[in-house]
Structure 1
Amino acid sequence: MLNHFIIILYLFCTSDSISQTPPYYHYTSSEGLASSQVYEMMQDREGYIWFATANGVSRFDGHKFTNYSTKDGLNTNSIICLTEGNKGEIYFGNEKEGFNIFDNGKIRKYSYQTEQNHIIIGMLTDGDKLYSYYDNNLSKVTKDNTLNLLGNLFYPDSIRINKMLKILDNTFLAATSKGMYKFENQKFEKIIITGLEQQEIFWICSDWENNILLGAKGKIYEVKDNSVVRTIEVDLFENNNVIRVMKDIKENIWFTIMNKGFYFIQSGTDIITDAGRKVGLVNKLVNNFLEDTEGNIWVSTYGEGVYCLNNLYLNNYSQKDGLSNNKVTAIEMDQTGRMLVGTLDGLNVLENNRFTEILNKNSSIWDYMYIFSIKCMNASIFVCCTNKNPYGKLSESMYENDKIFSFRSSSFCITKDNKFITGGWENNIYIYNYPPTSDQKSLIYIIGDSNMNNKIHCIYEDVRNNLWFGTDAGLCKISNGLKTYFPDNEILDATIKCITEDRQNRIWFAGDKGRSNYSLNDSLITNLSRFDEYDLSSSNVLSVDKYNRLWVGTMNGLYILDKDSIRVLNTQTGLPTKEILSLFYDTAKNTMWVGSSGGLSSIDINEFDKSKILPVNVRLKNIKADDSVYSFKENIIFEPDINNIHLDFTF
């Protein structure tokens, strides 16, 4: 007989089939950061990430913060900047209290002196020398802790140093209030960069190929071999001073404007995306970027802590971006590469990261529109929706150079022999010759030969010209005019919501009771209501990528099935919601577009496949039993008479 029981808590759970990484992590003092006011950050050669804060220094090991303060040897807790020496030592620049060095696991004094108690704004090392700068002054500390106050090397000019960058031994570049300077042989010299106009430069950094990026008023410059090779115009606000800029290894550009959050320019474009808005940093002061060795982007702020952006393969759009409604029910791409997005309330065009809602000139028709499906063909857009037209009637309008055919229907298909088929709610379909007109149509019933309450969810033509109809009453196949039903199949005799075809001539069906596939080669049917422990019932939509992986959108997330493995995307991996309603695969860009009840998302599959599947990081916050609170230092043993045990945890 057991006299007690033991609760064993595994805080780190690993699965090969599911990633639990959110779109970003947000760390503040509540999560262990020394202070939410962060001045600078860096990653050392051992992989630790260091943060200079208003309340000491924090070192992050990927799981937890270790904090250092005056109790550990700092001259002061207000640390403005930090840098790494050539032997792995870390230098800290203190507010008006000189410098410290972290070496061999301990902090010691490096120098108490700074000139006239000024706050240094930056540091860099050159061999055994430590340089610091502020305003128009430069100081040098040698390994014997001797401080050499170099003073104003611009005298008699008054020039402010904004940022310095080491490019060679004994050689630095300086971004200043009067343009670009080189520091060499203990003096500054004005340099001319071809294509760079005379102006204040707020920031300088190098990319992974040692090219130079400059932040200026309303512009970002890329410099190679002392010439500007690219200029990006930044015209967002009255004050467009680009005070921080970084180019990551994927050649995306990140920048910030004073008190205006931060922004993102995707590689290969000049389109500016307000990335700060997506994490709640609107009108906030972002002061630094860092790309760590795993490709995560870190963003530090004054007062809001730090953000670690991962899952950079994923972009989300919502009504905040101009989408007419967050419930995205249909996605298509037109011949020019624009994304057409159907929602619970209208049709949208996504172009250059901006949504435009398409409005028909006849507002009485488009007063309310639930979009079921969208197709593009021959510069025409076909919209299957719930407009005010009678069933079977087509309305025509224009958007720019495209014709829009809208019609009241629940589904439709354009066949290879130019037949236009629409499905409705009463067990019926209409067949038109292409281009469709309301006067030329024939009526066919799907289940049986009469009218009944049976919605046609989807219509699909396979490579062998068979027509498949997914309905509330089950699946129907029409081949050479002959109808085939599947009454003995549990999945296919129930509601079927989506049909697609893979690269092995298998037709896939998704519905209320799971998934099934039909082989065109041998007519074999295979049912899959579950995959391992995953319940794939309530499937809404299917798509197949170029690797022949099946993407299954359900009300519980997005599942990617590849032979015997599975990956899951949901809110914990960055999607705005787990309710997936529509999918569209862009073969040329290898991008999966995902429509959900929370908006539109795009997944860069090339980057997605490179991403790591991380373990669930569960953090136990509290254990209570009756009126007692327990610590986590050892296994906890509860006697049989203990009741009301509560575990409080986060992940």
Structure 2
Amino acid sequence: MLLFPNALTVFGKSDSIRTSLEYTITKRLLSVENEFASHEVFCGVQDSSGFLWFGTRNGLNRFDGSKCLLFTRQRNGLQENKVVQLAVDDADHLFIQYGSAGFQLTTIGKVDVMDATTQRVKTLTAAFPNLPFKEKDVYWIANDGTGEISFLTASPFRYWRYSSKKGFRLMHEMKGWVRQDSLLDYRTTGPVNTFLRGTAHLKLNNQQVQYVVKDKKVSSFKQHDVLRSLPVGLTGQGELLITYNTATDVDHFQIDKLTGQGQLVPAQNPDQYSLDEVKGRYWYQVRPATDGQATAFYMATDALYLWNKRAFLKIIGKSELKGFENLFIYQLFPDKLGNLWLCTSSGVMQLTIKKNRFKPYFSTSQQAMERNGQARGILADGRGNVVANVWGHTFMQEGERVHGFSHNFINYGLAWHGGALYTGGFGLSRYDEAQKKFIGIPMPPPSEIWSLYSLNDSLLLVGCINGFAVFNAAAKRFEPLHTEGEPEVRFVYRFLRDKHGQVWAVAENGLYELKGDPARGTLQMVRLKSTLLNGLSLLDAWQDTDGAWWLATNGEGLYHWDPKRNRSRQFNITAGFPSDVLYRIEPDAFNNLWISSDYGLIRFNRKDFAINTYTTTEGISHNEFNRTSSFKAADGKLYFGGLNGVVGFDPRAFKTDTLQLSVPLRIIAFNQFVGSANELVNKTAELLRNGGIVLAPDDKFFTLDFQLLDFIKDEGHRYAGHRYAYQIEGLDRNWVFINENSVRISGLPYGDFVLRIKAQNREGAWNKEELSIPLSVLKPVYLQWYFILTVVLLVALLIYLLVRLRIRQLAREKQRLEETVNERTVQLKQSISDQTALLLEKDVLMKEIHHRVKNNLQVISGLLELQGKTLTDDAAREALEEGRNRVRSIALIHQNLYQFENLSNIDLKRFAGDLCRQVQSVFQREKTVSLAVDVPDVHLDIDSAVPLGLILNELLSNSFKYAFKDVSEGEIGVTVNVVSEGRFRLVYSDNGPGLPEHFEVRKATTLGLQLVNDLTRQIGGRVHYQAVKGAVFIIDFTNREVRKNQD
């Protein structure tokens, strides 16, 4: 499609513009406002950790890209404060050369050596006891881009090189130098000696012989009639270039080169070295970089320039820097990230030079018609012709010719429709080729137009801020385009066609599909239903070949959404995006999506999700882009509009770019609260030395400061600074994202962990290098295994000692008890012997008593018998006989007691048998009576035996006297059963006629039965009578012990 017909080349007011620069130059000036010790920065180096060190008039500064540390004579023991030369060796030692207090940069023969890591300082003499020269003779130190340090010494003049591996080596002695002037002449630093990529250019002044030393090759030459001679650098063949003026032509500098044969000849074609701008001008100062890849040129009346062997670039104009006319440039050196650092009398300048792969269009520096550079709609053909709406103007560029057209309102959408160019805003306009101007369509649109899309030759789709419309070019009128479903459409940003030819629209509140037949007028927009889409604020969308959508959102980053599987994945700042506000998406041919944002242009790979971000440092005109502003041309070139015009580029130029961000991430400060001292202690050096953090139980917290040493300027944008994340392995499952370069950790449990910290640059790329710091939180002493073991051992020892002590006490106690027991045993034996004798005596006495009682009872029995013989009354004689039997029964008990050992109990079985036989012997004369005695082997106390014996005596007497008169042979049964312990049952029976029916023993009137009843109660029992084949008496009784308990 041809954007510009021939007639278009003359329309409107034309305003020529400058072509885009081939290089993008990023610069910033750092001085006392950035914590530098002085405006005057004389020298600088970068150590192996990535820190930059600068020598100033008021001390030594270490710069991390954000803050400066200051080292001085008063604080850190430096020999002086004015540092005029710096060099760093391959072991990370800084060599510091000091200068006099005056204006000139005059060295004073004092050199210190500082360990860049521990920051310990020694003099050169102390650091190297076997120094092959005197410290006071050193007047020049410098790095030469090879990792070694160059030394120049006087007395005599010699050139040395040093490295930690090879030591000091003498390279050359300048015997042709004769010191005719004062001592200060050769000590004054400046453009006198130059060290580039292992090549040393040595001179005292322009009149004496000059030396060029490369390894072991030495060339010498002289310059004649020279006023100012300034070394420029080395050619690709290693030839030294020098610019100079002469007394005959003071204002016009010439360029010579020193050939490999040591001959100084004019440089015939300076342009081949991109130095054509140098020749013929007057240069105040020239400073080559130590790597020989760049040189700074200063002209007080014009500008500061930089030569990088490919171009001669203007860095700062005279009007850009206050006091530019009095500027001094002292040293130019590169860092490891591609930056250049220029030390000057106004501070240090950070310079970044990059080849520009982006081409700007219609920026405010390229056109003067529109001061508001915000671009919206863009169109481009495959020949480099570009059209864009920039605020209230439409600009067109064909080759180097630019034309601009003014509108009465802001214009957004652009479309090529029906062979004509249309633009939309608060109205719709069409470019009229005949009149060479835009003509407004009389009929107003439904609302403000944001997007346009040519559906066919007659119908133009119109996206508005609150709906859709169709413009019929043939009828020149707007027709409504109905929307199915709710809610109301808001801000239609783009129309697009998928691979199947289906037209879609992207609105702020969803995706809409165009359905219906345009020929029949049945077109309508149908909202795609999705829970995900309902919650997003869309700014753009692009459909992949597999039907999945890539969604650019306002504040939530990028979504990949597969509607077939209803799966989605989010990519935001944590994934490496510089911002979560994404405006437009355009694909390239290399599986990348180019996405504009409010901070940079993003290249996102759809396969591996790698992210690259490009900002003003890479050549785009502004970091913030705009909605609805992008276009992909037929030749594959992409165009994006932002707050300052349009940038165009060919994605093929970025094909080799990688995501690999490898920048030093370093510890800046570490402060630990030490509980034992109850204060916050700076332990940075200890952490750097030991590589780990150890917290005692009373150490409540620590703070750790760190910095990504990419030296990128913080532009004040919310996404412009570094972002960090930390995780405590063994404690945290997820990363904690922070915007500060500091963490404060407290409340950690006991144990061993690893503190991991990673950094993200302002473009969103995560740095390859992370901090991994072992972190050990010690247990209190009382929880340590060795303490517990010690306590256990002590407790065991204590228990052992206590047991031993107790055993000894028990042994002594046992011995004492044994002695007491023995003593008591003797006493007890004696007492037992005495008691035994007493008991024996008592037993003898008791036996004697029982014997005498028995004898007395027998006497009584005998008396009763004699008395009965004298009685004539049978009743009286019978009564005496019964009394005599009773006495004999009692006597029998006493006889049993004294005849056996036991004097308190009687053998019941023997006693009952004897008593029965005794009574039987008295009454057996009349009739034969058989006795059956069944008594167990039990002993009965005498208090129970006497009543029981009397009861048996009465029952036996009654049976023998009255029971057997009418029977031929009498039978008597005596049975004693043990019912329970202490309880017994006496069953007495005979085969006589028995007592009358219903006889009650307790109501008996005879003396014998009354005696039986009373004696039974005496031994705790009762008498029961039964007439079962004779007389049966059942008597339950107890012994004395049971009766006691019952009482």
Task: Using structure 1 for the length normalisation, give the TM-score.
Answer: 0.61
1:476 to 2:512 alignment: yes
Q: Which residue of the partner structure matches residue 359 of structure 1?
A: 404
Measure, in 1, the Cα distance between the counterparts of 2:538 and 2:357. 29
Higher mean displacement: 415-424 or 491-500: 415-424
Residues 317-373 of structure 1, C-alpha deviations (whole Å, 9 max, x = no match): 975776832544456666554776644344568999x9x98432xx5xx244x3424
- Counterpart pick for 2:157 among 140, 143, 149: 140
- Counterpart pick for 1:304 among 347, 351, 360: 347
Measure, in 2, the Cα distance between the counterparts of 1:592 and 1:249. 37
Query: Is 1:221–1:231's contact at 8 Å kept on the other side of the alignment?
Result: no
Secondary structure at 1:463's aligned position in 2? coil
Residues 241-275 of structure 1, C-alpha deviations (whole Å, 9 max, x = no match): 484466899989876544877556899777x5657
Q: Which residue of the partner structure matches residue 107 of structure 1?
A: 123
Q: Which residue of the partner structure matches residue 627 of structure 1?
A: none
Query: Is 1:289–1:300's contact at 8 Å kept on the other side of the alignment?
Result: yes
Residues 176-223 of structure 1, C-alpha deviations (whole Å, 9 max, x = no match): 999x986577853349xxxxxx99664512478857676788999898
Amino acid at match of 1:413: Y
Q: Which residue of the partner structure matches residue 18 of structure 1?
A: none
In 2 relative to 1, CA 53–541 (structure 1 residues): closer, same or farther, beyond 3 Å?
A: same
| Count of equivalent residues | 570
Secondary structure at 2:506's aligned position in 1? strand
Higher-strand-fraction structure: 1
Secondary structure at 1:359's aligned position in 2? strand
In 2 relative to 1, CA 533–257 (structure 1 residues): closer, same or farther, beyond 3 Å?
A: same
Give the Å deviation of 1:386: 2.9
Query: Is 1:203–1:243's contact at 8 Å kept on the other side of the alignment?
Result: no
Written as runs of structure 1 = structure 2, the 5 A alignment for 1:38-57 is 38-43=41-46, 49-57=52-60
Query: Is 2:494–2:507's contact at 8 Å kept on the other side of the alignment?
Result: yes
1:324 to 2:379 alignment: no
- Counterpart pick for 2:232 among 190, 204, 210: 204
Q: Which residue of the partner structure matches residue 8 of structure 1?
A: none
1:508 to 2:550 alignment: yes
Give the Å deviation of 1:292: 1.4
Query: Is 2:414–2:451's contact at 8 Å kept on the other side of the alignment?
Result: no
In 2 relative to 1, CA 498–649 (structure 1 residues): closer, same or farther, beyond 3 Å?
A: closer
Measure, in 2, the Cα distance between the counterparts of 1:248 and 1:302. 19
Q: Which residue of the partner structure matches residue 425 of structure 2?
A: 386
Query: Is 1:175–1:201's contact at 8 Å kept on the other side of the alignment?
Result: no
Give the Å deviation of 1:458: 1.0
Residues 33-59 of structure 1, C-alpha deviations (whole Å, 9 max, x = no match): 443311222346786644232123345
Written as runs of structure 1 = structure 2, the 5 A alignment for 1:211-226 is none
Measure, in 1, the Cα distance between the counterparts of 2:230 and 2:740. 44
Query: Is 1:300–1:306's contact at 8 Å kept on the other side of the alignment?
Result: yes
Query: Is 1:334–1:376's contact at 8 Å kept on the other side of the alignment?
Result: no
Measure, in 1, the Cα distance between the counterparts of 2:527 and 2:350. 53
1:35 to 2:38 alignment: yes
Measure, in 1, the Cα distance between the counterparts of 2:109 and 2:637. 49
Written as runs of structure 1 = structure 2, the 5 A alignment for 1:98-497 is 98-103=108-113, 105=115, 106-108=122-124, 112=136, 130-131=151-152, 140-141=157-158, 150-151=178-179, 162=191, 164-166=193-195, 172=201, 183=212, 187-190=220-223, 202-206=230-234, 210=238, 228=270, 229-231=272-274, 234=277, 241=283, 243-244=285-286, 257-258=299-300, 262=304, 272=313, 274=315, 284=324, 285=327, 287=329, 288-307=331-350, 324-330=371-377, 335=382, 337=384, 342-347=389-394, 358-360=403-405, 363=406, 366-368=407-409, 370-373=410-413, 384-386=423-425, 390-391=427-428, 393-396=430-433, 409-413=449-453, 421-425=461-465, 427-430=467-470, 443=479, 445=481, 447=483, 455-471=491-507, 474-478=510-514, 481=517, 485-492=526-533, 496-497=538-539
Query: Is 2:328–2:345's contact at 8 Å kept on the other side of the alignment?
Result: yes
- Counterpart pick for 1:92 among 61, 79, 97: 97
In 2 relative to 1, CA 518–557 (structure 1 residues): closer, same or farther, beyond 3 Å?
A: same
Query: Is 2:79–2:112's contact at 8 Å kept on the other side of the alignment?
Result: no
Tell which has more relative contact order, 1 or 2 (C-alpha 8 A, sep 6+). 1
Task: Using structure 2 for the length normalisation, give the TM-score.
Answer: 0.41
In 2 relative to 1, CA 429–616 (structure 1 residues): closer, same or farther, beyond 3 Å?
A: farther
Q: Which residue of the partner structure matches residue 824 of structure 2?
A: none
In 2 relative to 1, CA 111–251 (structure 1 residues): closer, same or farther, beyond 3 Å?
A: closer
In 2 relative to 1, CA 431–308 (structure 1 residues): closer, same or farther, beyond 3 Å?
A: same
- Counterpart pick for 1:499 among 529, 541, 556: 541
Q: Which has the larger radius of gyration?
A: 2
Q: CA RMSD in A?
A: 6.6
Give the Å deviation of 1:282: 6.9
Give the Å deviation of 1:460: 1.4
Amino acid at match of 1:412: L
Query: Is 2:332–2:342's contact at 8 Å kept on the other side of the alignment?
Result: yes
Q: Indicate the percent of aligned positions where both proteins have the same amino acid.
A: 13
Q: Which residue of the partner structure matches residue 883 of structure 2?
A: none
Give the Å deviation of 1:612: 1.4
Measure, in 2, the Cα distance between the counterparts of 1:267 and 1:170. 17
Measure, in 2, the Cα distance between the counterparts of 1:190 and 1:60. 40
Higher-helix-fraction structure: 2
Measure, in 1, the Cα distance between the counterparts of 2:314 and 2:114. 43
Measure, in 2, the Cα distance between the counterparts of 1:263 and 1:210. 22
Measure, in 1, the Cα distance between the counterparts of 2:317 and 2:634. 29
In 2 relative to 1, CA 423–443 (structure 1 residues): closer, same or farther, beyond 3 Å?
A: same
Measure, in 2, the Cα distance between the counterparts of 1:336 and 1:601. 16
Measure, in 2, the Cα distance between the counterparts of 1:43 and 1:475. 53
Measure, in 1, the Cα distance between the counterparts of 2:257 and 2:439. 49
In 2 relative to 1, CA 384–275 (structure 1 residues): closer, same or farther, beyond 3 Å?
A: farther
In 2 relative to 1, CA 572–334 (structure 1 residues): closer, same or farther, beyond 3 Å?
A: closer
In 2 relative to 1, CA 410–121 (structure 1 residues): closer, same or farther, beyond 3 Å?
A: same
Measure, in 2, the Cα distance between the counterparts of 1:254 and 1:502. 50
1:612 to 2:652 alignment: no
In 2 relative to 1, CA 169–557 (structure 1 residues): closer, same or farther, beyond 3 Å?
A: closer
Give the Å deviation of 1:385: 4.3
Secondary structure at 2:658's aligned position in 1? helix
Secondary structure at 2:43's aligned position in 1? strand
Query: Is 1:502–1:544's contact at 8 Å kept on the other side of the alignment?
Result: no
Query: Is 2:376–2:389's contact at 8 Å kept on the other side of the alignment?
Result: yes
Query: Is 1:54–1:78's contact at 8 Å kept on the other side of the alignment?
Result: yes
Query: Is 2:559–2:568's contact at 8 Å kept on the other side of the alignment?
Result: yes
Secondary structure at 1:465's aligned position in 2? coil
Task: Identify unmatched segments of 5+ residues in structure 1.
Answer: 1-22, 154-159, 192-197, 624-629, 639-646
Q: Which residue of the partner structure matches residue 543 of structure 1?
A: 586
Amino acid at match of 2:42: Y
